A and B are shown apart, each in its own frame.
Chain A
Amino acid sequence: MATEILMPALSPTMEEGTLAKWLVKEGDTVSSGDILAEIETDKATMEFEAVDEGIVGKLLIAEGTEGVKVNTPIAVLVEEGEDASSIETSSGGDAAPAPAEEEAPAAPVEAAPASAPATPKAKAVEPDWPEGTEMKTQTVREALRDAMAEEMRSDANVFVMGEEVAEYQGAYKVTQGLLDEFGSKRVIDTPITEHGFAGIGVGAAFGGLKPIVEFMTFNFAMQAIDQIINSAAKTLYMSGGQMGAPMVFRGPNGAAARVGAQHSQDYAAWYAMVPGLKVAMPYSAADAKGLLKSAIRDPNPVIFLENEILYGRSFEVPVMDDFTVPFGKAKIWREGTDVTIVSFGIGMTYALEAADKLAEDGISAEVIDLRTLRPIDYGTVIESVKKTNRCVTVEEGWPVGSIGNHLSAYIMQNAFDWLDAPVINCTGKDVPMPYAANLEKHALITTAEVIDAVKQVTYR
């Protein structure tokens, strides 16, 4: 009996991959553990092994094919004597996309999860780049790498250190290619010792360098949080302005997919509380690039919160010699009149999707991306609330002491007379992150919850 071999999911966030190379050909006999193919995921190139034994009857996907969806049949194994030519596969060839074009389309394909809406057109009040600037489509991952590479080219004292940043090319491929260009002096693999290497990074900043310290995830930065707060954030003040830590701590933050309670925390509100730190949490690739370049140049310690799920999302990025985004300037992604939705980072996916659906019901939502959480662009939020008279905040982090809580208080104190309804905070649930798929989905914020909240504040 023929056995279909399916495109495997080889990382928590992998939805599709590239079939880089077949290591078997039709007619080969394979047994369990033999390497069938090399598959490039969103994180790395992986060897894919056979589970069953048999004869390779048919290779369904050509090598070099990009964008092969997880669970697409890629080959068929047959038994001795079985005729491969008579095989009919379940979804067969038409599920397998043609090799991707050089520039993948920005909008995610149909099979992408509901939390990945088409990239909306941004309308910044003051645009981040001049009208008519040439644009290119880039993933957040590529934008982050380009930001680091550009800053490393222009300042010899910028270097990057962290676990697997160099020879492995980045646990999430964000530092891909940096070792080749800049060498092992400036792209430094560390042992798995967050507390220690964060401290060494801070000391190097005291000593005149501009370190970029990558945490494989911010969950691991808890081991290093003393150095981040007590050493990096407070020294400028404690020294009466004599010395500080011009550096960036960066890495993925918040929930990925199905990685459980210890790998899924959003630290936005924690770090945003600390005077002496700056905190950025970009959503789009353009903001990721522009803000990271600003962060590297900033003379203060910057917490740069990325998101594993966003790494693979594509956006339009301006083609400019030196594109930066200033801290403390929110971006209005969508103008509206009935309600202000304030979010940041991956929360923007829910905010924008909710706004799309609300528009169908005739509710006009203004969607603001804070982009940086310290400093926060209060002015843009207050101005918007004075126009719409209602506000909903959206974030994936826990509810108690959230960014939404803080904004609610700020709005109450500064725009009380303009409010027609209480501000509602949509947040992740007040629970450790569960593993089960259905529970995890409910632990995170959902678009439906954002829509419900907007309907509450607009009394619909």
Chain B
Amino acid sequence: MAARKPSAKPNVSPEELKQYYHDMLLIRRFEEKAGQLYGMGLIGGFCHLYIGQEAVVVGLEAAASEGDKRITSYRDHGHMLACGMDPNGVMAELTGREGGYSKGKGGSMHMFSREKHFYGGHGIVGAQVPLGAGLAFADAYLGNDRVTFAYFGDGAANQGQIYETFNMASIWKLPVIFVIENNQYAMGTAQKRSTSTEEIYTRGAPFGIPGQLVDGMDVLAVKEAGEKAVAHCRAGNGPYILEVKTYRYRGHSMSDPAKYRTREEVQKMRDERDPIQSVRDLLLQGKHATEDDLKAIDKNIKDIVNASAEFSKESPEPALEELWTDIYADEVPQGDAVEA
């Protein structure tokens, strides 16, 4: 990916730009803290960090409206923070505590929020994609104009169920945006070693689904593409594919030594393409914010993240009775679309 300056003419107001800076930085600092807590043994199991990919979810959330749905894989912390879920609840789920979004029973990979229309948090590569199309199916059935963002990676793009879903989403004109977060490595396998085409977004064409390549290190480019995709879906034209080229700075999970790429490759990306640094530059160069303004944002985020870490340590472990709850529902959970 060629190094490139952020969009010269921002399609947003300075306030919005500051908000994106805030949201992306929150994800980064939160993930750094999560990595730290993992190292301390407070977080267990698998923990997949989102550092480097922040512009993808922040840009797409900027294109979404209230009531739109989102669903993703196990690398899900960034999506949850970007859609407004409480950092305390997310961090406490990472530590497996009562105050977590799933009362400690889901973990890093399995969190949900009906209130924020976040449908997980799924651990089987690609399985969230038909689920996302199903959410869109429900909205189409109920006759509202909501859209669903179904996120998956370049690795999942080789799963068969993705193409089964493309086919049905196309014939049924489902309002779903398939967001391929191409971070260029399916765990440790580079895209060129695993994927027959370089341009994954073209894989929708045989199904009649338009696709678009997006610079995922540029939050404004992501937002712009997201708006186009949302308009397409909301107008009843069926699904849309966005292949968002991004980069993960950390390993696949905390236990990944990342020997499949060089330190130089990662460092070059951080130096030249960092999505947060480029928005910071835009704000300062355009005189939309001063160093002091940004310091205040940094400080605010540091406080939020520290508070979430404190909360996640202080929240008690779930009561043992919780082992036996939530296996069966007594009542049908009320879907947030049922009223339509």
Contacts and interface: CB of A to CB of B under 8 A. Distances in A.
B164 A236 contact: no
B328 A243 contact: no
Contact of B106 (A157, A197, A239, A299): A239
Given A195-B161, A196-B164, A239 B131 contact: no
Contacts of A159: 141
A204 B141 contact: yes
B138 A196 contact: no
Contacts of A239: 101-102, 106, 110-112, 120-121, 326
A144 B110 CA distance: 36
Contact of B337 (A202, A207, A276): A207
Contacts of A208: 138, 142, 334-338
B132 interface: yes
A191 B165 CA distance: 10
B133 interface: yes
Nearest to A243: B333
A238 B106 contact: yes
Nearest to A200: B134
Interface in B112-151: 112-114, 119-124, 127, 129-139, 141-142
B327 A199 contact: no
Contacts of A204: 134-135, 137-138, 141
A190 B326 CA distance: 31
B105 A240 contact: yes
Interface in B73-120: 100-106, 110-114, 119-120
Interface centre among B105, B168, B171 (most CB of A within 10 A): B168
B130 A196 contact: yes
Interface stretch (A12-20, A223-231, A388-396): A223-231
Contacts of B161: 195-196, 199
Interface centre among B71, B123, B329 (most CB of A within 10 A): B329
B331 interface: yes
A230 B124 contact: yes
Interface string A229-245: 01100011111111110
Nearest to B107: A238
A235 B131 CA distance: 12
Interface centre among B71, B121, B127 (most CB of A within 10 A): B127
A197 B168 contact: yes
A159 B138 CA distance: 11
Interface in A180-232: 185, 190-191, 193, 195-210, 226-227, 230-231
Given A203-B130, A237-B326, A193 B164 contact: yes
Contacts of B130: 195-200, 202-203, 227
Given A159-B141, A202-B134, A299-B333, A230 B164 contact: no
B175 to A, nearest CB: 11
A272 to B, nearest CB: 14
A203 B102 contact: no
Contact of A276 (B132, B139, B168, B328): B328
A246 B333 contact: yes
Contacts of A300: 328-329
Given A207-B69, A241-B325, A231 B122 contact: yes
A278 B330 CA distance: 13
A227 B325 CA distance: 22
Interface string A254-290: 0000000000000000000001101000000000000
Given A206-B135, A239-B121, A243-B335, 11 more contacts: A200-B168, A235-B112, A238-B120, A238-B121, A239-B120, A240-B112, A243-B119, A275-B327, A276-B327, A278-B328, A299-B330
25 contacts: A191-B167, A197-B168, A200-B130, A200-B165, A202-B130, A202-B134, A205-B134, A206-B134, A207-B134, A207-B137, A208-B336, A208-B337, A209-B335, A227-B131, A230-B122, A230-B127, A231-B122, A235-B112, A235-B120, A237-B327, A238-B106, A238-B120, A243-B119, A243-B333, A246-B329
Interface of B: 69, 71, 100-106, 110-114, 119-124, 127, 129-139, 141-142, 160-161, 164-165, 167-168, 171, 325-338
Interface of A: 157, 159, 185, 190-191, 193, 195-210, 226-227, 230-231, 235-244, 246, 275-276, 278, 299-300
